[in-house]
Each structure stands twice: as C-alpha cells, then as structure tokens.
Amino acid sequence: MANVSSSNGLEKRPKLRFPGFDEPWKSALLSNYFAKNIKKNADGAITNVICNSAKQGLIPQRDYFDKNIANSDNTDGYYIIETNDFVYNPRKSTDAPYGPISSYKYPEAGIVSPLYLCFRAKQEINPLYFEWYFRSSAWHRYIYMSGDSGARHDRVSIKDDTFFAMPINIPSAKEQDRIALFLNAIEQRIDKQRSLVDALKKYKRGVIQRVFSVRKGNGKDHYPTWEVSSFGKFFTEQIIKTSNSPDTPLVSLTVEDGITPKTERYYREFLITKEGDNYKAIKPGWFAYNPMNAHLGAIAPNHLGYTAAVSGYYNIFSVNETDTISFWEEYLTSYPMLIHYKLIATGSLIEKQRVHYSQFVGIRRCLPSVKEQKHLSKLFEAVNKKIANAESMERLLVRMRVSLLQQLFI
C-alpha cells in the first residue's frame, strides 16, 4: 500500500491505496445507489424481529436479548428486510457515535422497528464494500453537519431526504473488491484472535476448577496433604493512613473490574467531601477487601504498579509470602469462596451487607503448603501471561482495523 494525498484539486483520493490503483474516485450521492425500503409487515406474516447493534450488527432479537421483546401482535408497522439490505439505527453509542448502519446477511427475511431507516440498492453494487464503508467514519461529518438541531442527545435526528442526499466517493469496482476482501481478512484474523482469548480463558477456568474443586466442603478427599488453616495465618493487615492527593491517586474496587483508578474530578470531590482524609494506602501487591461491594464483598490485589489511596472502609492486607500472590488472587476470587462468605454473613443476604475483615481472616479452609502455593502461583502466572499476550494482540488488531478504516475511505 502507498500513502497518497486525499485530494488533488477536485480529484478525490484516499490516504491509503493498494498498488495499481491511482485514478480518482467518483463523486455521487447516496441516492444514486440506494432507495428507502418502505415495505411493511402488513399481514404480520414475518415474526423474525431483527435489532441493529453497534457491536454485532443486524441480528435476531431473540439472539440479542435471549428472548423476543417485540409484541408479535404489533409488528404490522415493522419494515421487511432481506439479504444485503441496509438498516440505519439513529441511536448513538460509544461504538457508533452517529448510530450504526449495518447490512442484513441472513437468507430468511426479517422485520425491524419503524424507528430504523431501511434502504436497499437501486442497481448492482458490491454490498461488502458498502458494509465496510458504513463501518468507517467517512460519513459521520455529513450527519453531524446535516442533522436537525434540538434533537435528543441520545439519537440522531435527520430527515430521510437529507440522509439520501449524503455525498459519497466511490472507487472502481476492482478497487472496491480489493478493499472489501482485505478488510474482511483483517476481520477474520480478529475473530480468530478473539476465539483464542476465549479458549485460553476457558482453559484457565478449567485449571482453577480442577485445582480448587472440593468435596464435602474442605478438599481433603482431593488433596490429602493440604491442612486446615485460617486465612489469618497467611495475611498481615495493613493500616497506613493517607490522603487523596495527586501524589497518591485514588482507586476503587469492584467485583467486575478489580482495582481501578478513579480520576473523574466529580467523583474525587464527592469522596473528599464525604470522607475527608479517611483513606488508606495500598502498595503494589497488597490486597484490598471491599466488604460493601455487591452482596458478598470484593477482593483484588493492586496490579497498578504504584501506591494508591482507597476508601477507609476497605480492609487492606498483604500476603506474607510475596511469591504466593497469584495463588491467593485466584483462590480468593474463585467460586468456592462464595460458600464461605455465605456461611459467615449473618441474617439474610441483602444488598450492601458487610462481611467484616475479622470474620474474613478467621475463615478456616483446607489449604496447600506455602511451597505448593508458590508452585501454583507460577502456573497461574504462566496462564495469565498467555491470556494477556493474546488480549494485547487482539487490541492491536482492532486498532489496526480502525486506522485502516480511516485511511481507505473518503
């Protein structure tokens, strides 16, 4: 590929092109190629309701929501779509700031909400090329400049006639085909990488399930060399008071995300007002225990690489043997731990019920020796490293796709 000027006077060329293609692109209007599809499901014969997702494109509603949402008795106003039809969902999202435009790939006809704009080709086109064109941002500026003012903040408001007056630049049929096939190859590579990540995570779950599987609640039947011990034997509570300042950034802890930085100004000011200087320091490798998160508490080590400040309501503890951190991270977040949280919690499990740190460290479990904990830590670290590398490659491929979409279209 070669970098070229995006324009030469009135001639239109993309920033990046394949060798052998140098002619300027043809300028046209969207209406030259497409027309609005207004065929409705008047007799209610079609029940295959389709939704337009920014991430997944056009998929059956039952697959997206795991159930049918639309009332089958009230779909006579829905538009019928067929293979290679396009659908514009004007609802904004992070993944689609001006709403997604997706092509329909299923052989079975479907129906979509009348809130969507449906259109189909008026002449023979390369549908794969246009699919990728609409996944690019080449058409965003026109929507931004032409949308109606005063529209809802979460939805684009643009008249149909204005939408179809969108100017587009089209390469030759051969270049269209080359672009579409190339981007499809990139997409297939991303899908394979995503499958690898999923497979590695599944493998890790299997390893953890096998290592921490138990019978009769204590694991002795599986691991006769493990001994019943309390958590307090392996942990040391850390109580270092600190203040929330630029030198000690604030972090929070959730079950879903672990320990993550909180840099939003409004959030920081809220906590400062609420808690004053009631913060604790958490150094790299130390664990935070948030007894107020969800029903049963959240636990995670600090992997951020720097000392941070956490809410004074959190309990902070370190593992006595630093070579066992990975073992304890996986152990404390594994399913069997939930059983013990439930046994310790008093009364019914209601939202924000506290499981106190003193109760937590008093938990007695059948646990491996420190030597075996270190061995298991190395195993978990090796698996986690493979997952991290695979995820890093997936992110790199996605960034490459975004960059190509910006440079291959005008």
pLDDT score, position 332: 87
pLDDT of residue 65: 62
Domain C-terminal end among 147, 170, 193: 170
Q: What is the mean predicted confidence (pLDDT) over 314-334?
A: 92
Tell me the pLDDT tens digit for each residue of 277-316. 578 999 999 999 887 654 556 889 999 999 998 888 888 9
Asked if the structure places residue 135 within a domain, the reply is yes
- DSSP structure class, residue 72: G
| Distance in angstroms (rounded) separating the CA atoms of residues 234 and 370 | 9
- Give the separation between CA 255 and CA 251, rounded to whole angstroms: 14
Given a contact cutoff of 8 angstroms between Cβ atoms, the answer to whether 195 and 203 are in contact is no
Q: What is the mean pLDDT of the chain?
A: 84
Sheet of 241-242: strands edge to edge? Answer: 241-242, 279-282, 308-311
Calculate ∠ Cα 29-408-27, nearest 5°.
Answer: 20
Least trusted range by pLDDT, from 170-184, 292-306, 312-326:
292-306
The pLDDT of residue 323 is 95
Q: Which two tokens stand for residue 294?
A: 């969800």
Residue 320 predicted with pLDDT over 90: yes
Both 165 and 231 in one domain: the answer is no
- If one compares 136 and 274, the residue with the highest pLDDT of the two is 136
Residue 302: is it exposed, middle or buried by C-beta count within 10 angstroms (0-12/13-18/19+)? buried
Residue 387 lies in a domain: no
For residues 160 and 255, membership in a common domain is answered with no
**What pLDDT score does 249 carry?**
82
Give residue-wise pLDDT tens across range 67-114.
555 555 688 899 999 999 999 999 999 889 999 999 999 999 999 999
Which pLDDT does position 348 carry in this prediction? 40
Cβ-proximal residues to 293 (8 Å cutoff; 6+ apart), any chain: 253, 254, 255
The total domain count for the chain is 2
Residue 13 lies in a domain: no
Taking the CB of residue 365, how many other CB atoms lie within 10 A of it?
Answer: 19
Quick one: average pLDDT of 15-35? 95
Q: What is the rounded distance in angstroms from the CA atom of residue 67 to the CA atom of residue 170? A: 40
pTM: 0.81
Which of the listed residues 170, 203, 218 is the one where a domain comes to its end?
A: 170
Q: Which of 102, 117, 111 is nearest to 60 (CA)?
A: 111
* Whole-number Å distance between alpha carbons of 341 and 297: 8
For the cut 70, the answer to whether the pLDDT of residue 406 exceeds it is yes
- 37 in any annotated domain: yes
Tell me if 36 is assigned to some domain. yes
Q: Are residues 165 and 35 in the same domain?
A: yes
Three-state secondary structure along 183-252?
HHHHHHHHHHHHHHHHHHHHHHHHHHHHHHCCCCCCCCCCCCCCEEEEHHHCEEECCCEECCECCECEEE
Q: Is 158 found in the same domain as 32?
A: yes
Tokens of 204: 């890790």
Are residues 279 and 162 located together in one domain of the fold?
no
- Residue 258's identity, in one-letter code, is G
Q: Is residue 278 part of a domain?
A: yes
DSSP letter for 40, please.
B
Residues 165 and 34 in one domain: yes
Which of 202-211, 227-236, 342-351, 373-382 is the least confident region?
A: 342-351
Residues 164 and 237 in one domain: no
Residue 317 forms part of a structural domain: yes
Whether 33 and 127 have beta carbons less than 8 Å apart is answered as: no
- pLDDT of the residue at 353: 52
**Together in a domain, 141 and 271:** no
pLDDT at 276 over 60: no
Distance separating alpha carbons of residues 206 and 199, to the nearest angstrom: 11
Instruction: Determine contact, residues 35/71, Cβ cutoff 8 Å.
Output: no
The answer to whether residues 236 and 362 belong to one domain is yes
Domain carrying residue 146:
26-170
Domain stop point among 170, 190, 213: 170
What residues contact residue 87 under an 8 Å CB cut-off, 6+ apart? 50, 52, 58, 81, 101, 102, 103, 104, 112, 116, 117, 118, 119
Mean pLDDT across 24-38: 96
Give yes or no: residues 32 and 165 share one domain: yes
Residue 235, C-beta contacts closer than 8 angstroms, at least 6 positions apart: 287, 317, 318, 319, 320, 361
Residues 242-268 have a mean pLDDT of: 72
Residue 378's SS3 state is helix
- 147 DSSP assignment: S
For position 97, which CATH number holds?
Answer: 3.90.220.20
Residue 323 phi, psi dihedral angles, 5° rounding: -75, 0
- Same-domain check for residues 38 and 129: yes
Confidence class of residue 341 from pLDDT cuts 50, 70 and 90? low
Query: So what's the pLDDT on residue 351?
Result: 44
Task: Please indicate, yes or no, whether residues 239 and 165 belong to a single structural domain of this protein.
Answer: no
Give CA–CA dist 303/326, Å, rounded.
11
> What is the predicted pLDDT for the residue at 12?
85
Q: What is the pLDDT of residue 68?
A: 56
Bigger pLDDT: 360 vs 179: 179
- In tens, the pLDDT along 210-252 reads 888 754 444 455 567 788 899 999 999 998 888 666 667 888 8
Query: What region, left, alpha or beta, does residue 42 occupy, with left being phi > 0 and alpha being psi -120 to 50 degrees?
Result: alpha
Is 357 contained in some domain? yes
The count of other CB atoms within 10 Å of the CB of residue 145 is: 7
- For residue 395, give the 3-state DSSP assignment: helix
Q: What is residue 62's three-state secondary structure?
A: helix
Residues above pLDDT 70, as percent of the chain: 80
Q: Is 164 helix (H, G, I), strand (E, B) or coil?
A: helix
